[in-house]
Structure 1
Amino acid sequence: MDQSRAPFKMNCRKCGKLLDGNTSMEKGTRPRHGDVSLCIYCGALSIFDMNKQRLRPPTQWEQAELSKNPDVARALAAITIAKAKQGYKSQK
């Protein structure tokens, strides 16, 4: 995985948190138009819209395709586990 700064200032379209970095599953790449974004805070799936410099909701077709993607499923599971561990730590 390769990390980089966000190509533009953006907030999650669902929870509103500032998303200022990216982790790519492909080494040496930056987000491109149409790439998928997963919010590390709430797990929302979004699509990079480089023309409007924003994250947009996936279309119904994109959502259906993403729901079949094992990489997306693993990333969402990792976010869920990390949030659960964080909640556990904050309760101590």
Structure 2
Amino acid sequence: MAQNEIQKYTNNNDFYNSTRNPLETWRNNYDALRKLSDFLNTATAADYPDIPSATLTAVGGLRTQINTYLASDEVADMLAEVKKFTRI
């Protein structure tokens, strides 16, 4: 069940690699990571009772890492650059 939810955010061409426009690629990857983060922030153990608690703990760690990365100055700076050169 949860795997299907996660695949919804990662298997729909949100994550892709384009050498033609690396800024657009970065933006698309950022958007997909943001969607995955939103899902991980709202999903609860009650939503997925079939998932072992150790897996939920690992997902919590992943959620923390993703949120820390998305809130970093590096991402903010890159997002500002991407906005200058792409349509958002």
TM-score over 0.5 for the pair: no
**Which TM-score band (shorter chain)?**
0.3 to 0.5
- The two structures have a TM-score, normalised by structure 1, of 0.34
Higher strand content, 1 or 2: 1
- The two structures have a TM-score, normalised by structure 2, of 0.35
Higher helix content, 1 or 2: 2
